[in-house]
Each structure stands twice: as C-alpha cells, then as structure tokens.
Amino acid sequence: MTRIDAKFAELKAAGKKAFVSYVMAGDPDYQTSLDIVRGLPSAGVDIIELGLPFTDPMADGPTIQLAGQRALDGGMTLQKTLDLAREFRKGDTTTPIVLMGYYNPIYSRGVDKFLVDAKDAGIDGLIVVDLPPEEDAELCIPAQAAGLNFIRLATPTTDDKRLPRVMQNTSGFVYYVSITGITGAAEAEAADVAPEVARIQKAGGLPVIVGFGVNTPDKARSIASVADGTVVGSAIVSRIAAGDSVPDVLAFVKTLSDGAHSA
C-alpha cells in the first residue's frame, strides 16, 4: 500500500473528502517553495502535487506556465525538485507527494535511474500528462513495479470506448479534468462533473479527484461534494506569483482545504 492508498483509506474511514494542492517546485525560488510545501499539511492538504518545471508545458495555462518559467530561471531542475521532496520528507513521512509534469526531463535522466531516485526522495506517485495509455510500457508499468502510483487524467472527452484503456494501468486515483482546455481557463461546475465522476468511479473503482477550474472555498466544497476530493493549483500559484508571504499563501490554502473538507 502506497502513502496515497493509505491516505484515501484514512479519509474514507473518517468520512472526509480529499483536498489536493498543486505548487510548482522552485517557484518563486527553492527555499520559499520548500517553506510552502512544508506548510501545506498543516494547512489541511491531504496530498501534495509537486510540479516539475518544464519548458513546454502543453496542458498548463499562463499562470502555471509562468510559474514553471520562474522556477527554471531560478535554476530549478529535476534533481533539485527531488532534493526538495527529500528535504520535505525529513519532517513528514506520511503526506503523499505526487510529481506532476512531462516526460522529457524523465526520459533525459533515464527511466530506471529516475524511478530509483524518485522513490528514494519520497515521491509516491506520478502524473505525466503527455504519456497516453499506448505508451504504458515506457514509464507507467515500470513505475508501478517500483512502488509508485501512476495517476491518469480523464477528461470530458474520454468516452466510454476510451475510458477502459485509460483505467487499465492507473492506480492511486484518477484525476478528472473538469473542463476542456488548459489549467485556469474556466470554472468547474458540480452539476456537469457529478455524472462524469460516477461514470469513472464505476469503470475503475478508484477515487476520482477533480481539478482544473476550482479556485474558491465554495467551489472546492461544491466539487468535492460530488467527487472523492478536489485539487487546486492555479489559484494557489497566483498568490505565489503576486508575492504573497508564505503564511499568507498557506492561510489561503487553509480556506480551500476547509471548503473541501466540509463537503
């Protein structure tokens, strides 16, 4: 059982929905990013999504694109991202970390080396948005053999014919992208999300976490009420971009987690 599996079991036993937060590793700089990540569990975050900076983030809107660019400009690398996770693990051995990004940096490092290093750094799962199920042998299956969950995205365009293929080697949870488009582009609506979540849950039996378009405590509550939890990224990253202090960022995150947990 991974930390992700254990967390969902714990939440289910408590009758709670999950709150997942996304931050870009190294934004606005390594130390500030580490301070924010360290504070997320106390702000009510159940699972941390740690963005891996990349030069061509095709699924991300301007907010997260710019965060990645700030991190890269500050010298952030895959190695430093793993270093950040390792530093976090010195004080927290239970909160799951999902590394979210693109395949190129992993491929450049070498899959076998990356998986050993990621596991050693305390990473629990991967979301690699540009590796479809047809490429499972590339990273998904080796990752699961190494003890890492491989989390797949499902979208409003994932029809009943495609869904079984998407679910085939997915583990941990399914990330449902609530809108068509890029991160931060529109708001998710619970009435639209609910039937899709039920369809995905039935197909795979895994928890379904809804992201993209969740940006307020009320929205976090409404989306979590029809899913197994919700994830917020761009709204948090926007606060970091605006220069909010670490305590202010974490206070905002707490309002979001309170919303999700009240669903």
Active site residues: 49, 60
Rounded to an integer, what distance in angstroms lies between the CA atom of residue 201 and that of residue 62? 31
Report the 10 Å Cβ neighbour count for 222.
Answer: 22
Residue 97 and residue 122 in contact, taking contact as beta carbons nearer than 8 Å = yes
Report the 10 Å Cβ neighbour count for 182.
Answer: 19
For residue 24, report the phi and psi dihedrals to the nearest 5 degrees: -85, 125
Residue 34 and residue 84 in contact, taking contact as beta carbons nearer than 8 Å = yes
Residue 252 and residue 39 in contact, taking contact as beta carbons nearer than 8 Å = no
Length reported for the chain: 263
Helix (H) or strand (E) holding 247: helix 246-261
Report the 10 Å Cβ neighbour count for 237.
Answer: 27
What's the distance, CA 155 to chain centroid?
A: 15
Pairing of β 208-211 and β 152-154: unpaired
Question: Which residues are 176's β-sheet partners?
Answer: 154, 210
Question: Which residues are 97's β-sheet partners?
Answer: 48
